[in-house]
Amino acid sequence: MHLAAQVLAGNRLALARLITQIENELPEGWAALSELFPHGGRAHLVGVTGASGTGKSTLVNHLARWYRLEANGCSPRRVGIVAVDPTSPFTGGAILGDRVRMRDLSGDPGVFIRSMASRGSLGGLASATASVVDAMDAAGFELILIETVGAGQSEVEIARLAHTTLVVEAPGLGDEIQAIKAGILEIADLLVVNKADRPGVENTERALRSMLQLAGPVGRVFRHHGRHEYTTGPGPQPGQTQGWVPPILRTVATEGVGIAEVGQAIERHRRALEESGDWERRARARLGSQLDSLLQGALVARWRESLPEIEYQRILDRLVERRLSPWQAVKQLLDGNLE
């Protein structure tokens, strides 16, 4: 049986090997994933992001457990987890330590945890993360938790990938002005104040609430190479009285406090997405983004192959000597002249 068939049959080693092939950009990986792709599109993708030290991994651990327990009111779902940690820009290596917090999930055949290094990607995810998630989706994992690198405010890539994005904060990690800065807080479908047993939790919650009120409910706009892609805002829609306003939830993840409420909020968000049509809209935006990014890479690589290296270096030399501007250099390379 070849790899794609093994993955569909539930072979976990096959899934692990496929993920490695995808990460290493091997053609056999893309081929297998292409076979598997029609079987995907069903998983609920939940992103978990937030600064280091907020307790993301512990939260992911407990959320996954909640989804696995029948006591939560729905039947247990198979849970995939992708945890991304930063690659050192100097050595190219990485310490992937998120599994340390996920001991409770070991031995459960309905859970699959994969650690990924960012391998130079900025924005909180590795470039292969979306494809790895596709593989888990096709393999039958119904809920996929994606934990980002967690470096801070620029980590908005997750919002493009996930249906539901959780932003995790913790008391005392920064002053209230941080909450109002653009970026990470705008992508939240749920705001979680973890380590809520620490002093300052009321201030943190208040700062987040005031940020939400300032921003007001707006549609999600993805600006993508000068084009705008819209999803519906949580303003009144036909047949609806109220849109989705991100709830602020308190948790003490290490003790499992508040986890059920987060799980239930995630489920409510999923229903809201389905009812408003945003589930499809976001999927379209996500796949469009993935298509564009792959296209860009492939086009440039293909075009570069046809360009003699010496010509490229010659133009680069002229650029360095400031006899050409960068824009002229591009025109020269693409059109062969400066007209």
Structure tokens at 248: 């602020």
In the complex with another protein, which residue's Cβ is closer, 108 or 229?
108
| Residue whose CB is less far from another protein, 113 or 193 | 113
Among 27, 38, 89, 93, binds another protein (CB under 8 A): 93
Residue 141 binding another protein, by CB under 8 A: no
Closest CA to 140 of 64, 44, 31, 43: 43
54 Cα distance to chain centroid? 17
Q: Does 203 bind another protein (CB under 8 A)?
A: no
- Look up residue 294 and give its two tokens: 């792959």
Residue in 219, 266, 232 with CA at minimum distance from that of residue 73 = 266
Distances (CA, A) of 313 to 65, 238, 305, 321: 55, 58, 14, 12
Is residue 136 within 8 A of residue 112, CB to CB? The reply is yes
Alpha carbons 158 and 190: distance in angstroms, whole number: 13
Smallest gap, in angstroms, from Cβ of residue 90 to another protein? 8
Count, residues near another protein per rule CB under 8 A: 28
Residue of 1, 16, 74, 180 that binds another protein (CB under 8 A): 16
Cα–Cα distance list, 309 to 303, 333, 339 (Å): 12, 11, 23
Q: How far is the CB of 51 from another protein (least distance, A)?
A: 21
Show contacts with another protein in window 25-44 (CB under 8 A).
25
Choose which of 13, 214, 310, 338 interacts with another protein (CB under 8 A): 13
Per the CB < 8 A criterion, the answer to whether 254 and 58 are in contact is yes
Complex with another protein: residue 112 or 244, whichever CB lies closer: 112
Cα 188 from Cα 165, distance rounded (Å)? 5
Look up residue 108 and give its amino acid: D
* Residue 41: Cβ-neighbour burial (10 angstroms; 0-12, 13-18, 19+): exposed
Interface positions, 105-124, toward another protein (CB under 8 A): 106-107, 112-115, 117, 119
Among 75, 89, 91, 305, binds another protein (CB under 8 A): 91
Stretch that binds another protein, among 33-41, 85-93, 246-254, 330-338 (CB under 8 A): 85-93
160 makes contact with another protein (CB under 8 A)? no
Q: Distance between CA 249 and CA 193 in Å, rounded?
A: 6
- Of 2, 10, 12, 197, the one binding another protein (CB under 8 A) is 12
Out of 77, 99, 268, 270, the only residue in the binding site for another protein (CB under 8 A) is: 99
Closer residue to another protein (CB): 81 or 162: 81
Would you count residue 97 as binding another protein (CB under 8 A)?
yes
Tell me how many degrees the CA angle 283-191-215 measures, rounded to the nearest 5. Answer: 80
73 vs 92, beta carbon nearer another protein: 92
In DSSP terms, 114 is beta-bridged to: 82
Q: Among candidates 75, 162, 156, which has minimal Cα distance to 110?
A: 75
Does residue 244 interact with another protein by CB under 8 A?
A: no
Nearer to another protein, 237 or 254 (CB): 254
Residues 24, 153, 210, 313: which binds another protein (CB under 8 A)? 24
Q: CB 247 → another protein: shortest distance, Å?
A: 32
DSSP 172-195: TSS-THHHHSSSGGGG-SEEEE-S
296 lines the binding site for another protein (CB under 8 A): no
The structure tokens 């109002």 sit at: 180
Q: For the CB of residue 56, give the shortest distance to another protein in the complex, in Å.
A: 16
State the residues that interact with another protein by CB under 8 A: 12-13, 16-17, 19-20, 24-25, 87-88, 91-97, 99-100, 103, 106-107, 112-115, 117, 119
